């Protein structure tokens, strides 16, 4: 190899070195793009369901160690099927993107914000009490209700759950929040209910 390198003149060595740097940068960029494809919902820019599970798992373990609270909220767009049927799927996508932006705007640094699927979104909020969790849910609900999207009003229903006795399990809180969401929908929609 030494002979090979000594045979190359300086300009060839510099060119080879430059190509290696460019190849490395390209691989890093592709690696970052693959990571984003695996973790980010392309429509809303929020975390996807798989990454929600990864991050909330770590967050719940940490809360268990610290004996701290965690709240989970499920946000569901009211009458989303009717929105799609009436205004078309492109408008439905606009609604999902708008909700994604609203959630990104209103979350704290350590909160986990994800699109769970369809028109359902999930927030996991560490170190919060039930009153503050409900206040955040209510603020999100009001922000959505008071903003027109292409001249159309949209509302959301939100189910909120908070861990009790430091039992930090995603599945348990999710079921409770889902139950509160069902109650919010049953009681007329456009409301946030704490389990």
pLDDT of residue 41: 94
pLDDT of residue 9: 64
Catalytic option among 36, 51, 119, 138 = 119
pLDDT of residue 107: 84
25, 108: one domain: no
14, 107: one domain: no
Q: The domain spanning residue 74 has which CATH number?
A: 3.30.70.270
Q: Is residue 44 part of a domain?
A: no
Q: Is residue 161 part of a domain?
A: yes
Q: Is residue 128 part of a domain?
A: yes
pLDDT of residue 97: 95
79, 26: one domain: no
25, 86: one domain: no
What's the domain range around 17?
Answer: 2-39
pLDDT of residue 36: 66
119 among known catalytic residues = yes
Q: Chunk the chain into consecutive blocks of 10 residues (it has 195) and report each block's average pLDDT, rounded to whole numbers.
A: 56 78 83 73 94 91 88 97 95 95 88 95 94 95 93 96 80 95 96 96
Encoded tokens for 127 = 């170190």
pLDDT of residue 179: 97
9, 61: one domain: no
pLDDT of residue 6: 56
pLDDT of residue 4: 56
11, 66: one domain: no
124, 179: one domain: yes
The total number of structural domains in the chain stands at: 2
153, 190: one domain: yes
DSSP letter for 123, please: E
pLDDT of residue 35: 64
32, 128: one domain: no
pLDDT of residue 74: 98
25, 115: one domain: no
């Amino acid at each position: 190899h030494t002979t090979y390198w000594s045979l190359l003149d300086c300009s060839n060595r510099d060119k080879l070195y430059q190509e290696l740097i460019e190849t490395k940068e390209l691989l890093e960029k592709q690696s970052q793009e693959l990571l984003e494809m695996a973790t980010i919902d392309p429509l809303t820019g929020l975390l996807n369901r798989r990454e929600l599970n990864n991050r909330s798992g770590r967050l719940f373990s940490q809360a268990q160690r610290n004996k701290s609270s965690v709240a989970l909220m499920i946000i569901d767009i009211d009458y989303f099927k009717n929105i799609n049927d009436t205004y078309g799927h492109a408008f439905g996508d606009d609604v999902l993107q708008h909700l994604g932006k609203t959630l990104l705007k209103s979350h704290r640094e350590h909160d986990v914000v994800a699109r769970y699927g369809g028109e359902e979104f999930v927030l996991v909020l560490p170190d919060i009490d039930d009153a503050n969790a409900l206040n955040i849910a209510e603020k999100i609900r009001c922000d959505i209700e008071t903003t027109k999207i292409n001249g159309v009003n949209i509302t959301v229903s939100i189910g909120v759950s908070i861990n009790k006795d430091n039992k930090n399990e995603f599945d348990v809180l999710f079921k409770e929040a889902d139950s509160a969401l069902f109650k919010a929908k049953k009681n007329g929609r456009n409301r946030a209910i704490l389990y």
